[in-house]
Amino acid sequence: MRYLGIGELARRVQVQASALRYWEERGLLPGSHREAGRRVWPVTAVRRVALIRMAQRAGFTLAEIAGLLNGDTSPGATRQWRELAARKLPELDEHITRTQALRRAVADCMECACMNFDRCVLLAASEDAP
């Protein structure tokens, strides 16, 4: 089996080495071992870190991610994952809605081209809103 040192793994997955050590302490990454005094992980850790990062971007907490990665594939664990994912989807939908509204506001500002925040009609309208 091929192993990656902490620096190489960090570069491959584009995270700080300190994050890898922290995730290992929290049980998200399998325990590393030492070769010639260096902390190393199996190359399969790249995929594991990709999953952790994707779950973080989706808004899962580290505790939730640790629960998902505990290796339990029983029907109960699968049901737990589905329930957790079902609760997360509305949060993601809300985030998308807010982000789309922000995008529209930025696009509207670009079209306004007033170049003067004190006289901007769009900002004045937002001041009048409840």
Whether the pLDDT of residue 98 is over 60: the answer is yes
Do 79 and 122 share a domain, yes or no? yes
Do 76 and 54 share a domain, yes or no? no
> In this structure, is residue 64 part of a structural domain?
no
Do 55 and 83 share a domain, yes or no? no
Do 91 and 122 share a domain, yes or no? yes
The CA distance from 28 to 52, in Å, is 8
**Domain count along the chain:** 2
Whole-prediction pTM value? 0.66
Do 76 and 123 share a domain, yes or no? yes
What is the average pLDDT score of the chain?
A: 84
> In this structure, is residue 66 part of a structural domain?
no
List, for residues 100-111, the tens digit of each pLDDT value.
Answer: 998 988 888 778
The domain of 22 spans: 1-59
Using CA atoms, how far residue 126 sits from 20, 91, 108, 130, in Å, is 44, 25, 12, 8
What CATH number does the domain containing 14 carry?
A: 1.10.1660.10
